[in-house]
Chain A
Amino acid sequence: MSNISDDKKALAVLAHDIKSPLSSIIDLLTLIDKGYVTNPEESKQLVARAIKKASILIKMVDDILDYSKLEDKSLMKREKLNIFNTLNESIMLMRPYAEKRSIAIEQCEFCVNDEYVNGNHTFLLRVFNNIIMNAIKYNRNSGKIIFNSYRNSENKNIILEISDTGIGISSDDIDKVFLIFERGSNARKNIDGSIGLGLSLVKQIVEDHEGTIEIASTLNVGTTLKITLPLYKEGENNEL
């Protein structure tokens, strides 16, 4: 539950995180405007860097819009959904980013892979995309992302574990990772346009599906996210 102080802090962080790339864009373009750079090729490179920064800003705004959409539950229609089809779709989308850094994606050969939940495809795809993208961003070059899945002992839930061999999260930071606008101190070193909405968005979506998410991490070893979702029951109400 946020209070006024948390809201103010969140706004200050948001303002900083948006203003930093904006300032950087102005810095880059001012070099051309004020004649510090006149060589056409160098100017072109500066403009390209400014465009890249602007794209990061667009991603930030998209994250904020997605987060605000979660307030409107009518946008989250749910249906009988094969969760592994959604997961595999996400892996397919994210694989090129992993390959750029030679990160191997290892799927468990003997795990369950044909389970249904009462879910919204778009939002759950977003969950997997965010988690896998984090596992790529905060991984080492030539690292691994490992998937594991199983039913819980009562056969009521499907459990999905996604592990990476990345920079990990310190014990001081681990309690904050699901808070809005928070990033671990280790994560701040990876400047990529993340504004700390990713995992708070993931947690909100999982909880909207009556699921839970847990995190375990060791600094400089890796992180595992464990998602538990209720299995689909025939005839259950599909609306949130």
Chain B
Amino acid sequence: MSYKILVVDDDVDVLDSRKIVLEHNNYEVLTATNIQVADEILNKEKIDLIILDVMMENDSDGFNFAQQVKTDNRFSKIPIILATAVNQRTKFKFDIEQDGVFMPVEKFMEKPIDPDDLIITIRGLLK
């Protein structure tokens, strides 16, 4: 059975690009263009990993969703990759070493994300 990955990004081109790469590597992919849809999918499907854009409809949506997932016992073990176009913005440093406690996600990746790096990262997280 293949792993199920939820990709959340408000840019349809990014969603389609990720979908092509992930399906090429035999992952099942579900996509959401906003947090509300992502939340619905999370509650309906058994998700193994989330790739989340942090600059969605407003500055805090991605972060809030990540916090919500990590503080819910049903989902807290799902690894999250936070994808962002800018690696340093306001108070968020996007440094896993420094911000791991504040934002307990498994990986930060800066856009554009190389497909090979993405797959290596996902394989590492789904071991």
Contacts and interface: CB of A to CB of B under 8 A. Distances in A.
A100 interface: no
B10 A27 contact: no
Contacts of A53: 13
B62 to A, nearest CB: 12
A49 B16 CA distance: 11
A77 B18 CA distance: 50
Interface stretch (A14-22, A80-88, A125-133, A215-223): A14-22
Q: Interface of chain B, helix or strand or loop or mixed? A: loop
Contacts of B13: 24, 27-28, 49, 53
B10 A189 contact: yes
Interface residues of B, number: 25
B32 to A, nearest CB: 13
Contacts, number: 68
A19 B90 contact: no
Interface string B98-121: 000000000000011111100000
Given A12-B86, A19-B111, A36-B21, 11 more contacts: A9-B90, A20-B111, A22-B112, A23-B112, A24-B13, A24-B14, A30-B112, A31-B21, A185-B57, A188-B57, A189-B34
Interface of B: 10-11, 13-14, 17-18, 20-21, 24, 34, 55-58, 85-86, 88-90, 111-116
Interface of A: 9, 12, 15-16, 19-24, 26-28, 30-31, 34, 36-37, 49, 53, 185, 188-189, 191
